[in-house]
Amino acid sequence: MELTLVVLIIIVGLTFDFTNGFHDAANAIATSISTRALTPRAALAMAAVMNFCGAFLGTEVAQTVGSGIIGAPEETSGLLLVLCALIGAIGWNVFTWWRGLPTSSSHALIGGLVGAALAASATVHWSGILDKVILPMLLSPLVGVVLGYLLHTGILWVFRRSAPRRIMRRFRLAQTVSAAAMGLGHGLQDAQKTMGVIVLALVTAGWQDDFSVPVWVIAAVALAMAAGTYSGGRRIITTLGRRIVHLDPPRGFAAETAAAAVLYTTAFLLKAPISTTQTITAAILGAGATRRFSDVRWQVARSIGTAWILTFPGAGIPAAALYFFLHSVTPV
């Protein structure tokens, strides 16, 4: 039973990582596609490669997710908890992808973990969630908005006397670099969350003693995310790239650069699992607001905000319900 559950968790974890890839592919490439800096196929291929490379840049966030969110019970109960958390997060990812809403796969996973942990009467590290999840969740979009706004304002001032056509051409080229940086940051942040959950299962089963991430876990997660990213997620690409605000290449470059800066800072310095979706969406809003606030489609932004709020219960409640069911029919 233990071996079966661990293998199943690894398979389901990689499936979640695949859904994370196609759900969050828009994070790295939506602005570049909408401004025609890159073709969809080239953008997806580049994002997939950068996601794969980013997964190898660190494991600090993985250790935070593995050890700082919940304390799973030992053996079968703990493995069921992890499995149900993953399934709850996958369900929310698929639902919001179908609705075209750019929600956070990271917060779906954490919501699933907390929901299943509460159902299992397991330990929830609320102080860790406050410090490493809630506060970064609130602050990173605010920082993204401000950085996106300030960076594009600076671009407008520096190039205020330049020919518009030449500027657009240069920033289309620059967006290739900023989109690559965003893809690398997405791999750095989001791949580590799945690594953390798989390691949590290995520790729960007693297969390893600490929360260090084995190389085979990093490689498997990196491949799954890269495959998911290349498969697309065009519904959310449309929402981020066109429905929130009209983007030109300078605004797209400003949004991607601002979001990438937040991703690297939180991963390397704070070791916090923030949402790449929230960060890039906020940066797009900030860069778009430099023209007129009325140019931002705030109704779409409100719908996205509502989906963000619902992410924790949207993944956590199904995870808890599934745990109750599986625990009642599984010999422990």
> How confident is the model at residue 134, as a pLDDT?
87
In order of 7, 59, 117, 192, 316, the CA distances from 122 in angstroms are 22, 25, 5, 23, 14
- By C-alpha distance, which of 256, 178, 225 is closest to 18? 225
**pLDDT of 34 above 80:** no
DSSP 3-state assignment of 173?
helix
Which range has the worst mean pLDDT, 41-45, 141-145, 254-258? 41-45
Between these two residues, 3 and 243, which has the higher pLDDT value?
3
Q: Which residues contact 129 (CB under 8 A, 6 or more apart)?
A: 69, 110, 114
Mean pLDDT of the 6-15 span = 95
Q: What is the percent of the chain where pLDDT is above 70? A: 90
pLDDT of residue 239: 58
**Mean pLDDT on 262-279:** 87
| Cα 328 to Cα 332: distance, rounded to the nearest angstrom | 9
In the chain, the largest separation of any two C-alpha atoms, in whole Å, equals 73
User: Residue 252 has what pLDDT?
Assistant: 87
For the stretch 125-166, pLDDT in tens is: 999 899 888 888 888 888 998 999 999 999 999 998 888 888
By C-alpha distance, which of 80, 83, 104 is closest to 92? Answer: 104
H helices of 159-246, in order, are: 164-204, 215-231, 234-238
Average pLDDT, the chain: 86
Of 323, 322, 264, residue with least CA distance to 76 = 323
**Among candidate residues 176, 237, 270, 209, the one with its CA nearest the CA of residue 67:** 209
For tokens 């499936």, the residue is 15
Rounded percentage of the chain residues whose pLDDT exceeds 90: 45
> CA of 113: how far to CAs of 10, 272, 289, 312, in Å?
15, 16, 36, 10
Half-sphere exposure (CA, 13 Å, Cβ side) for 57? 22
CB 256 within 8 A of CB 228: no
The model's pTM: 0.87
pLDDT over 70 at 240, yes or no: no
Residue 30: which pLDDT band, with cuts at 50, 70 and 90?
Answer: confident
Confidence grade of residue 315 (pLDDT, cut at 50, 70, 90): very high
User: Which residues lie below 8 Å from residue 42, measured CB to CB, with a gap of 6+?
Assistant: none
Residue 313, pLDDT score: 95
Check pLDDT > 80 for residue 245. Answer: no
Does the pLDDT value for residue 242 go beyond 60? no
Element (H, E) at 123: strand 123-124
Helix (H, G, I), strand (E, B) or coil at 234: helix
Position 222 pLDDT exceeds 90:
yes
How much is the pLDDT for 234?
A: 62
**Is residue 37 classed exposed, middle or buried when 0-12, 13-18 and 19+ CB atoms within 10 A define those classes?**
buried
What is the pLDDT, as a whole number, of residue 327?
87
The confidence score (pLDDT) of residue 241 equals 52
Mean pLDDT within 3-8 = 92
Residue 27 confidence (pLDDT) above 70: no
Q: What length does the chain have?
A: 332
pLDDT digits (tens, 9 = 90+) for 276-290: 878 888 888 888 777
* Predicted pLDDT at 244: 58
> Among residues 25, 17, 16, which one has the least CA distance to residue 232?
25
Quick one: which of 248, 285, 309 has its CA closest to 96?
309
In the predicted structure, residue 299 carries a pLDDT above the cut 80: no
